[in-house]
A and B are shown apart, each in its own frame.
Chain A
Amino acid sequence: MTRMLILSLLMICGTVSAQESAVSADLLPEYDPFAEALTAIDAGKYELATEHIEEIEDPVAKIYAQSDMIHAKGDVKAAMEEVCKALALDSSNQQSLGKCEILIVNLYIELGMLTEADNAARQIVLLYGDTEFENEANALRSKIATMKKATESK
């Protein structure tokens, strides 16, 4: 957004021609607000992250980023509430949805709701066969099983 704004201003001011701007824009990596948002969240720059999140078009991806930020700020339950909203959308974007579901499993784990975490992970395996999410979900299920055993042995 910021970058586009600068380019527009330069064009208006006549500093660069439209053709030049097209060339320079080609040289720049494509702006990916989702990736930028996640990077900003990782860096703890939440204000900047919020700006990027506003630019995300895919509603599911937007929810994921929002939730990721809330989670990063430490409110696990609120993050859970946020990310679950993705499931209420009629989205066919399996990539974004899969990310959300993996996040849900992780949040359940953090909330200590291991059975629920396993339920969610099991569903991912069922719905996302032959994808990266299936593998992630299986790995999480193993982790959950270990955690459950540890809890039971206590």
Chain B
Amino acid sequence: MQCKLMMRRGLAHKAAFIASAAFLFGVTGLAKDAPRPVAVKVDLEAARADQIANLSAGALLTESAKILQTGDYSGALPFLDAYLERMAPEDNARASNLKQEVRLKIGRVKIYMNDRVGALEAFDEYMANKPQYRRREVLKLKAINLFKVGKDTGQDQYFEDCIATVTNAFYNPPLSELVLEDEKKDVSIDEMTKEQLGGLSKRQVKRNAEYAKGAKKDILKDVVAVSGPEMDAEYSVEDRVLLNITKAEACSELERWNDSIEPYRYVIDNSEDSARTGYATMKLVNSLVSLKRYDEAGDFVSELAKTDARYNIRVNLSIMKVAAALQEAEEYDSALALFRMILPRRDLILHQEGRMNEIRVDAGMPEIAVEVVTNSVGGYEAVFGHKSGYLDVSMGNSSFETPEVPPELAELEAAVNQVVALPPYEEDVHYRLGQLYAGAGRPWEAFSVLNSVYEKDVYGSLGQQAFFESLQVLVDPLEEYDRVEKVAYEYLDTYKSGLAPRQVAVALGSCYMKQSKYKEMKKLLPYINSFEPVEANDVRTALQYECEVHYLLAISDMLLLNYQAAEAGFAKLLKNYPGSHQEGNATYWHALSLLFLQQYEDAFAGFETYPVKFPKGRWDAQCSFRGGICLFSMEKYDEALARFTYVMTTWPDRNLYSDAASLRGDLYGYQGELEKAILDYREAIRTADTLQQGTYPVFQMLAVFERQSQHDEIYKAIDEYEARWAEKADVAKAAYWRGKTKMDQGLVEEGLEAYLSAVVKHGGNIKQDGVDLIINEMVNVSRGLEDDESARLNSSIQKSIKEASNPTLKLRLRCLIAQIDKKEVELGAALLAELDNFDQAPPPVLSMICKASFAAEDFSRSEELLNIFKTKFDDSEYMQAAYKLRATALFNAESYEEAMVIVKETQDLYGYAYDAAWAQLMKGKIELKNGSLLSARETFRTVLDIRDWRGESFAEALYYLGHIEEQREDFQMAFKWYQRDYVQYKGYADGYWAAECYLASARCLEKMGFADKQRDTYRAMLFDKYVNKLPQAKAARNALGGTVVSEIDTLLASGVTTNITVTIKAEEAQ
């Protein structure tokens, strides 16, 4: 291997030199077989100095030509320099021309010597003098040389000069600007003056002219052929191609992309060299991409695809760069096309091997086989070994020992080395291809390519990244959810460490999100909790993915309306992943979850934090608006009003403008500024984007009109609403308002008729819950009807029932009649028996069935009923009856944990709503069953804090509070709770709780040793008309005995009422 390395270093050096020489061969047309320079010995230099001093001017040129023939460029230079020095005083035309020729020659010789700066000086000197018969040649060489020096030094000025030189080269100045004023036409050698001979004899000049005719090498021809001046020929197409590519490349170096386009196009249109055309096309694409002219770039990509240019190594390398830029710019079509043109290293080298061998055979050289090997430091390198059959060695630099290496071959070898030196790129290209297929909307291709990258590199970072992205593609857009779940869980069950499992968890989370499987999301929790800590270098990325999973979990809770869990999730995320990519989103959602939990102050603080931390965040307007809702809810009306005004002024084009206008209208309405309220509602209606935005302010506005008795405005607003939203409109609710307005106008029967008509018209649609609102209103109105009016209404409904064929409508109408007749429980029981399934039953009917089941303590279909609500009417206000039925069923079955789940769901949905008290009570009872006395006590005490729950719920809560204290053997406290119950709430629940509390009080008094007070309590119970007929009274009767009971009965029969009050003092109790 060491041997190979040494050979390779030699080759690289050699190749670099030959490449530069080859460049010159290509551009100057100079001798391709020029001999290579050799070292000049010091003693030889001294001898030459002596020689120069003794030679005539003509002899200096002749001697320089001889030396050049030997390939000793540096040896010839002193003779040429000496000639110029010697001839400096001569300014006649011929001598001047000869000096110019010598300057050109010096420039060329210096190029050969790789002294490009020196060459440029020679060309500059040429251009500073006249005549300039070789102007085109000089400018061409100068331009190319400037570019080379620019590349070598990295100094922009050389590229600037290069561009100027090419521009100058294409300019054709008049002849007068190029020649000397006294210059005459060429004369024959015999007629030349001494000055015209330029220091040579006529014989020498003639001999040189003859010699030049036979000279094979231009370099010699130019020096010795000092015949009469002749303007150099116009540039050939090949020259122009060369100059244009040089200019274009210089422009590219300076990133003057626009200036590079024309010269590249010239090359594409005129070059006969397909490799050069391909290269120029590629570079043109690069310029166009840099100018963001993607469509034009795409056209040239397509052109490029039709060529074999991709086999050109330089093109292949450029493709990678430009394709990456196109990918960055999300120009997927062009980027994809380019990436697909990139050849793997091995194919590229094999192709070049073929080309190299063609050249080698032509040059009489043995063929080679390129072998890519891994070197001692793990990198790649190329070894140019002979093909078997020529030499039995498989190493060595074939061209190094060969005396004449075709420059094209040297260039190819250098290019191959360049490719080999690149880090492996094939899998990266595949990975990017996968991404591009996804971006270009070709998901199956994306999956396949990404999956192949993964399969080749299962444990590598690229492979794992590809695996994650392949899962993402399977989720969206391929929707291969089952497959993702299977693969992902297999992976998560196996791997716990590193980045990949976290990524897979994110993919799985996205999978659930897409399917709205929010509950399933919880399955991820144990996995992410079991992940092993990541290594330091992966921490940042890994934490991002971990954070993403937590974010998805919290969002799922939000969507499941589990606001408490969501709040906790977002809070945890903000605490554990500070500065994460989701911090902004989590801040907003956290505040929103607090808002939904009615923790307005905390929510407000969160919404106010957001714009401070994320001044240009996406939720800025939302936070300001939601902050306004918090202020509204905190009853800070003036601040809320100012906030909504701010939102409307600051974000007039945002979607929430309409919502802000609606809420500001509400505030004005609340403050009694009805005209302003109406203006805002109208503004909200005008700017509404969604049905919800268009509906809410309409009905709010109707309520204002109703207060103002503006009946015509009501009808008009309804008409406009229905016209705008057509079939999407809440037509039933609109009909309800029409009927209600008629009522308000005193047109009761007309109003009822309108109601019934709306019910019949829309009641067949199970989803039209506005109909149920009308039915409720009809029930309310019916209560105040005269008998004859009531009979007419009943008759109309019965008629409609008979005529109805739609089962949903029939059920709704039956429900209406039952409610008017107060026979809901009976109808519910009937339907429970009658209906095999509840597919056609609208929410009120289902609710009625639930209530009937509850009354009958028939819980057999409780699960089915709740499921129907959850799947079909999850936002129905009637669902609560199903929750209650189901929770009670589970409680009775002693499935306390499941019952508690239902309770929590209910509370998340209904909070402290009037008819949701049962959930709080059940929660307390479950806690009691679980032996959590203190929690239960807190739960029941909470009931007493809710004003809306006064009544029966209070009665039950008081009983349980007493019960808890009795359990805790605090009989005095227990007695107090019990007593409060039967004193204040005996009129509720048919006296059930009061009766229970009488008995419990008596029990406590007995425990405290107050036997007489216990008897008083029993007596009070029997005197209490709310309870004395209840079964519980039997215990009191038994305790008091027949005589006392007879006395009480007699007294009660005579109309005596008592007010027996049992009081105990603290000291007595002790």
Contact = CB atoms under 8 A, between A and B. Distances in A.
Given A129-B302, A129-B305, A80 B442 contact: no
Interface string B413-446: 0000000000000100010010001001111110
B347 A90 contact: yes
Interface in A104-124: 104, 108, 115-116, 119-120, 122-123
Interface in B914-946: none
B816 interface: no
Nearest to B441: A119
Given A123-B440, A129-B302, A88 B337 contact: no
A106 to B, nearest CB: 13
Interface string A47-84: 00000000000000000000000000000000011001
Interface stretch (B211-219, B447-455, B899-907): B447-455
A87 interface: yes
Given A84-B447, A126-B298, A119 B343 contact: no
Contacts of B440: 119, 123
A150 B343 CA distance: 41
Interface in B330-356: 333-334, 336-337, 340, 343-344, 347
A73 B588 CA distance: 52
B802 interface: no
A126 B331 CA distance: 13
B301 interface: yes
B443 A116 contact: yes
A127 interface: yes
B203 interface: no
A128 B305 CA distance: 7
A143 interface: no
Most chain A C-beta atoms within 10 Å of own C-beta, residue among B298, B302, B445: B445
A92 interface: yes
Nearest to A105: B442
Interface in A90-148: 90, 92, 104, 108, 115-116, 119-120, 122-123, 125-130
B347 A116 contact: no
B347 A88 contact: no
A87 B434 CA distance: 10
Contact of B452 (A80, A88, A115, A116): A88
Nearest to A97: B340
A92 B442 contact: no
Given A81-B444, A92-B343, A104-B444, A127 B449 contact: no
Given A90-B426, A115-B441, A119-B442, A126 B448 contact: no
B305 A123 contact: no
Given A126-B301, A127-B337, A129-B302, A120 B449 contact: no
B445 A84 contact: yes
Contacts of A104: 442, 444-445
Interface in B607-642: none
B347 A127 contact: no
A126 B305 contact: yes
A84 B448 CA distance: 6
B306 interface: yes
A84 B444 contact: yes
Nearest to B299: A126
A90 B447 CA distance: 16
Given A123-B336, A127-B305, A127-B340, A88 B444 contact: no
A122 B449 CA distance: 19
Contacts of A116: 441-444
A85 B453 CA distance: 11
Most chain A C-beta atoms within 10 Å of own C-beta, residue among B347, B441, B453: B441
A117 to B, nearest CB: 9
Nearest to B336: A123
B448 A87 contact: yes
A94 to B, nearest CB: 10
Given A127-B305, A129-B306, A130-B306, A120 B298 contact: no
Most chain B C-beta atoms within 10 Å of own C-beta, residue among A87, A116, A122: A87
A48 B25 CA distance: 61
Contacts, number: 66
Interface residues of B, number: 30
A149 B451 CA distance: 34
Contact of A85 (B306, B340, B437, B448): B448
A88 B452 CA distance: 6
Contacts of A84: 444-445, 447-449
A102 B453 CA distance: 23
B430 A88 contact: yes
A88 B449 contact: yes
Given A87-B445, A90-B344, A126 B426 contact: no
B346 to A, nearest CB: 8
A125 B337 CA distance: 10
A89 to B, nearest CB: 8
A116 B441 CA distance: 6
A85 B451 CA distance: 9
Interface string B596-615: 00000000000000000000
A126 B337 contact: yes
A123 B449 contact: no
B530 to A, nearest CB: 32
Contacts of B344: 90
Nearest to A91: B347
Nearest to A94: B305
Contact of A80 (B343, B444, B451, B453): B444
A126 B333 contact: yes
B302 A81 contact: no
Contacts of B298: 126
A68 B375 CA distance: 44
Contacts of B443: 116
Contacts of B347: 90, 92
Nearest to A90: B344
A135 to B, nearest CB: 14
B333 A122 contact: yes
Contacts of B433: 87
Most chain A C-beta atoms within 10 Å of own C-beta, residue among B337, B340, B444, B452: B444
A87 B305 contact: no
A68 to B, nearest CB: 16
B683 to A, nearest CB: 36
A116 B334 CA distance: 16
Nearest to B430: A88
B442 A120 contact: yes
Most chain B C-beta atoms within 10 Å of own C-beta, residue among A85, A123, A129: A123
Interface in B276-307: 298, 301-303, 305-306
Contacts of A125: 302
A120 B306 CA distance: 18
Nearest to B437: A87
Contacts of A88: 430, 448-449, 451-453
Contacts of A87: 433, 437, 445, 448-449
B207 to A, nearest CB: 59
Given A90-B426, A115-B441, A129-B302, A123 B333 contact: yes
Contacts of B453: 88
Contact of B445 (A90, A92, A120, A129): A120
Contacts of A120: 442, 445
Most chain A C-beta atoms within 10 Å of own C-beta, residue among B306, B334, B343: B306
Contacts of A126: 298, 301-302, 305, 333-334, 337
B305 to A, nearest CB: 5
28 contacts: A81-B447, A84-B444, A84-B448, A87-B433, A87-B448, A88-B452, A88-B453, A104-B442, A108-B444, A115-B441, A116-B444, A119-B440, A119-B441, A120-B442, A120-B445, A123-B333, A123-B336, A123-B440, A126-B302, A126-B305, A126-B337, A127-B302, A127-B305, A127-B340, A129-B302, A129-B303, A129-B306, A130-B306
Given A116-B441, A122-B333, A123-B337, 4 more contacts: A84-B447, A116-B442, A126-B298, A126-B302
In the complex, the 5 A-B pairs of residues with the closest C-beta atoms, listed nearest first: A84-B448, A88-B452, A119-B441, A90-B344, A88-B449
